[in-house]
Structure 1
Amino acid sequence: MPVPNSDDVAEVVAVLAAHAADVDARSRFPVESFAQLRRRGYLGLLVPAEYGGMGGGLTELTALAQQFAGGCLSTAMSWAMHCQQTDLVVRHATPELRARLLPRIAAGEVYLASVTTESSKGGHLLSAHDALRGADGYSLDREAPVVTGGMHADGFLITMRDGPDAAEHEVTLVYADSADLKIEQTAVWQTMGMRGTDSVGVRLVGRVAPDCVVGERGKFRQVAADSMVPVGHLAWSACWLGAARAVFGQLVRRIAAPRQKSGGPDVNSPLVQERVARIRLDLELVSAYLGKVTEEVGQIRARGGRLDMPAVQIHLNTLKLAASELTFRAADRMVQLAGLAAGYGTDSPLPLERTFRDLRSAALNYSNDRLWTANGTLSWADRAVSLL
């Protein structure tokens, strides 16, 4: 299945945009939008063609994430995280699991959710408390306070401590089909923004087959560095940029249109021109850095290199930091520029108020505090200062 053309993408974006306000207002999962993504094959964007997928790569992922986010950021983020999980399966699952699961993803039958959070450790990715148990070590009882689309997923990739006697850093990633689990919702999702991701708390109880281990047992750190972290930072950043870019385009068109009697920003005002230029600067910087990091990761993967080198990790972390902070700053400036009614009002024809709330979550989605300290530490190991 080839990567779709621009007309097909535009039709999907229109569906996402049509339901975005209701999804946000009712804090519900975007079921209509995901039905489109399933039907048109977008769940299989990263699935190789040999399994029936689109055979897309990171460039296609970041481009589509931007476009989808221009319609509905909650939908785009949920889809992007599904693609992140798909990449893990493609690159690190057993041949048996790939053969069973990838054709179902390509057919739109399986939406994958990620289970990495725990109440005892928050969002720390590389540790786990709940352990695999049983004589064969494949039984699980896992609680997670935040799972994007948790009650709508058809399958889960779950981090588990490798066993009751394993250290918390000995983490194993397993796939579990929703049909093989008892799934209980344990918490609701009532937040300022990103309300449509429906990131509820869940408890998962069940068993997984030995061939459902993704990567080596106890060595999740390796697959996280190769797949989950880089794809996550690229896809999230693309989504944030796409949402900010789309609403900026709407705002510029509104300002540049013939002025109504009610007034509005004066396109000839030097102050307005400067504010527009500053917003544009933030978006340009994020776009350029996203493009360069996408290129770097793609080239390293193509030659079979490692993505856990200090300089590459710094570049990935910097992308997430810059994208989360600069896109939110751009949204904040857009609200100020648009004014009280058009920028701050919930009934404005511009979705600025929703975009502002959604982008405020970006710095919290895997906390920037962790990444600032990580980059500080990593800088001691990259004394050559290998800038991108």
Structure 2
Amino acid sequence: MTQAVTTATALVSVLAEHAAKADAEGVFPHESVQALREAGLFGLLVPTEYGGMGGDLGDLVEVAALLAGGCLSTAMIWAMHCQQTDVVVRHAGERLRTELLPRIAEEGYYLASVTTEPAKGGHLLSASSAIEADETELLVRRSAPVVTGGEHADGFLVTMRAAPDAPPNQVSLIHLHRGQADTRVVRDWNAMGMRATRSVGMELDGATAPHQVVGTPGEFRRVAMDSMIPAGHLAWSACWLGAARDALDALVALSRSRQRPGGLDTRSELVRHRLGRARVDLELASAYLLRARDEVLLRRRTGASMDVRALHMQLDTLKVACSELTFSAVDRLVQLGGTMTGYQRDAAVPLERHFRDLRSASLNYSNDRLLGAIGTLTLLDGAGQLF
């Protein structure tokens, strides 16, 4: 067991302690996030030479699943920060890495992602707002309808069109310190689930230095294919799986306890059947997550290209499959729990919160968009190499 896993295991109860209140009030989970910072987990992916834990995406998957068992909103905030950290580690210049990575490791500097825009929604590889350059700075004026934890971030990684005359697919990724920008919340977050992520709409207006461009200017696609997409899909899927696994474990524990409701009689074939179907959903999600994780880790170890059609088909499939299967599992558990155990907000097992949170999974970078991309690739190579 790694240090990170040991640390995360000890913190699950902290996250669980604050999860219900943060969800009910729709507030950022300050206590839980601070606990992760103080434990050094915000620096999980920061190399040891910069003061971090030196973890890889395998560690990210394992820790994300653990934390999500305590609070899915907190786990997602942390996982998306780690996604941005991975981008900095792999693609920032040495000056920016030297400035930023020690702060992430030592202070828990929180990086938020700004990739959505009103005109394009969540489409990752294009941008509408353009960078404007003067003699020494790059001017950033950006509106984003969804920024997870944006009110509380210390810095942002922002996608922008590379220049006013650049096409929409010529995108740069820019790091912007909060102190370099005026930030304003323009839309509140009053969502069905994932309420504590505080994924508000924001406007950013500031200026940054040229060395704060991450990757080659105008070539964000390379950054996304190598880092942002693999890290994001693996981390999100692990979070969803961890939350659904916690829901199943908690319901099974309740069924074995003296407080067991009558509808959870473990001698019932129907109860066993429904538990079995939920377990099958999670086994399938877990197996595909581990397959994708291993492929990404192998490519990173060997230096193989990540910009491979078959890999991104696999990553898109991972996101769609895990988002659907984990929600399906919890939906089955709600049905099994019934009105009192499955549907009540104050039930002994928080199935109602898990249900609302996991309903967002298919909307978080829309499955419809990903299925369209998968369908387009399927027209090119059919079933592909399945074995």
TM over 0.5: yes
User: For the Cα contact (< 8 Å) 2:81–2:110, is it kept in 1?
Assistant: yes
Letter of the 2:189 partner, please give it: W
Q: Cα distance 1:97–1:7, how it changes in 2: closer, same or farther (>3 A)?
A: closer
Structure 1: tracts of 5 or more residues without a match: none
User: For the Cα contact (< 8 Å) 1:126–1:169, is it kept in 2?
Assistant: yes
Q: Which residue matches 2:82? A: 83
Q: Which residue matches 1:236? A: 236
Q: Cα distance 1:23–1:259, how it changes in 2: closer, same or farther (>3 A)?
A: closer
Q: Which residue matches 2:96? A: 97
What is the rounded CA distance, in whole Å, between the counterparts of 1:336 and 1:105 in structure 2? Answer: 42
Matches within 5 A, 1:149-188: 149-188=149-188
Q: What SS does the aligned partner of 1:156 have?
A: strand
Name the % identity: 55
What is the rounded CA distance, in whole Å, between the counterparts of 1:6 and 1:151 in structure 2? Answer: 28
Deviation, structure 1 residue 3 = 4.9
What is the rounded CA distance, in whole Å, between the counterparts of 2:305 and 2:380 in structure 1? Answer: 16
Q: Which residue matches 2:114? A: 115
Letter of the 2:76 partner, please give it: M
Q: Which residue matches 1:249? A: 249
What is the rounded CA distance, in whole Å, between the counterparts of 1:387 and 1:28 in structure 2? Answer: 44
What is the rounded CA distance, in whole Å, between the counterparts of 1:5 and 1:175 in structure 2? Answer: 26
What is the rounded CA distance, in whole Å, between the counterparts of 2:175 and 2:202 in structure 1? Answer: 16
Q: Which residue matches 1:42? A: 41
* 1:110-151 deviation line (CA, Å, top 9, x unaligned): 100000001111111111111101334711111111100001
Q: What SS does the aligned partner of 2:291 have?
A: helix
What is the rounded CA distance, in whole Å, between the counterparts of 2:298 and 2:8 in structure 1? Answer: 26
Letter of the 1:183 partner, please give it: T
Q: Which residue matches 1:195? A: 195
TM-score, length-scaled by structure 1: 0.97
What is the rounded CA distance, in whole Å, between the counterparts of 2:347 and 2:108 in structure 1? Answer: 37
The range that moved more, 134-143 or 243-252, is 134-143
* 1:303-352 deviation line (CA, Å, top 9, x unaligned): 11112211111110111010000000001000000110110001101110
What is the rounded CA distance, in whole Å, between the counterparts of 1:289 and 1:64 in structure 2? Answer: 17
User: For the Cα contact (< 8 Å) 1:3–1:54, is it kept in 2?
Assistant: no
Q: Which residue matches 1:290? A: 289
Deviation, structure 1 residue 258 = 4.5
Deviation, structure 1 residue 256 = 2.6
User: For the Cα contact (< 8 Å) 1:233–1:316, is it kept in 2?
Assistant: yes
The range that moved more, 249-258 or 167-176, is 249-258
Letter of the 1:198 partner, please give it: R
The range that moved more, 322-331 or 248-257, is 248-257
What is the rounded CA distance, in whole Å, between the counterparts of 2:2 and 2:59 in structure 1? Answer: 8
Deviation, structure 1 residue 7 = 4.8
Letter of the 2:181 partner, please give it: L
User: For the Cα contact (< 8 Å) 2:40–2:108, is it kept in 1?
Assistant: no
What is the rounded CA distance, in whole Å, between the counterparts of 1:203 and 1:229 in structure 2? Answer: 24
What is the rounded CA distance, in whole Å, between the counterparts of 1:203 and 1:209 in structure 2? Answer: 19
Q: What SS does the aligned partner of 2:306 have?
A: coil
The range that moved more, 264-273 or 378-387, is 378-387
What is the rounded CA distance, in whole Å, between the counterparts of 1:273 and 1:200 in structure 2? Answer: 41
Q: Cα distance 1:122–1:269, how it changes in 2: closer, same or farther (>3 A)?
A: same
Q: Which residue matches 1:374? A: 373
Deviation, structure 1 residue 384 = 7.2
Letter of the 1:255 partner, please give it: S
Q: Which residue matches 2:318? A: 319
Deviation, structure 1 residue 255 = 1.4
Q: Which residue matches 1:10? A: 9
What is the rounded CA distance, in whole Å, between the counterparts of 1:259 and 1:206 in structure 2? Answer: 56
User: For the Cα contact (< 8 Å) 2:111–2:157, is it kept in 1?
Assistant: yes
